[in-house]
Amino acid sequence: MSTIVVARKGNMACIAADTLTTFGDIRLGSGLDRNHDKLQTFGKTHMGIVGSAAHTLVAERAFNDKAVKADFSTRDSAFDTLIRLHPVLKEQFFLNSKDAEDDPYETSQMDAVFINKNGIFALYSLREVYEFNQFWAVGSGSFYALGAMHAVYNKYKSAKDIARAGVEAGAEFDTSSQLPLTMQTVKLSPSATLS
């Protein structure tokens, strides 16, 4: 899968991702993959999606669909976007929305983290949306990334350095993550800056 992280410190937010694609036991590194960057930009939001490699192309098309009216500016607007997105995923992109029999809702089959001037966020397959104060991670390397970012958060001064530590830990210990990493940063709006 991947290691994709978000971090915020002071008035800056950063998203960073490894660049390895895997197909079962086959690894496609950045040197062979012309489209190895896992970070996508939709409007003023930078997002990294984990799960199936197909999610990248689907997201590019679906989030630009006028019917979806993609807006990830806040937790509430992201949730509303996911509600509009789900039928589009099923009808236009043939999403298999069935997961476990006891799931309370149909799944959208993708997890992601994203940043914009309003903060750092994550979305999950049952359309849960979370906003974070410090950092978060998704993907198979997320456990390592969370531990690394926790260890350095109070020591490092920049969101960029914290995010780098997370992805580097994921790439070091997770077999489905690999450097180099890619990253994007945004300046947070004054209303989003934590005191």
d(CA 22, CA 24): 6
Q: Which residues of 82-95 are buried (b: 16+ CB within 10 A; e: fewer)?
A: beebbebbeeebeb
Q: Read off φ and ψ for residue 87, nearest 5 degrees.
A: -65, -30
d(CA 43, CA 1): 25
Question: Residue 98: what pLDDT?
Answer: 74
d(CA 37, CA 47): 11
How distant, in Å, are the alpha carbons of 35, 59, 104 from that of 29?
10, 22, 37
> Residue 107's CB: how many other CB atoms inside 10 A?
17
> Residue 105's CB: how many other CB atoms inside 10 A?
12
- Please enumerate in sequence order all residues whose Cβ is within 8 A of that of 103, keeping only pairs 6 or more positions apart, or say none: 126
Whether the model clears a pTM of 0.85, i.e. scores above it, the answer is: yes
What DSSP designation does 136 have? E
DSSP string computed for 4-54: EEEEEETTEEEEEE---EEETTEEE-TTT-TT---EEEETTEEEEEES-TH
Q: Read off φ and ψ for residue 149, nearest 5 degrees.
A: -65, -35
For the chain, 195 residues long, give each residue's pLDDT as a single digit of tens. 799 999 999 999 999 999 999 888 899 999 999 989 999 999 999 999 998 877 888 888 888 888 889 999 999 999 999 998 888 888 877 877 777 777 778 778 789 999 999 999 999 988 899 999 999 999 999 999 999 999 999 999 999 999 999 999 999 999 999 999 999 999 999 888 765
d(CA 20, CA 187): 28
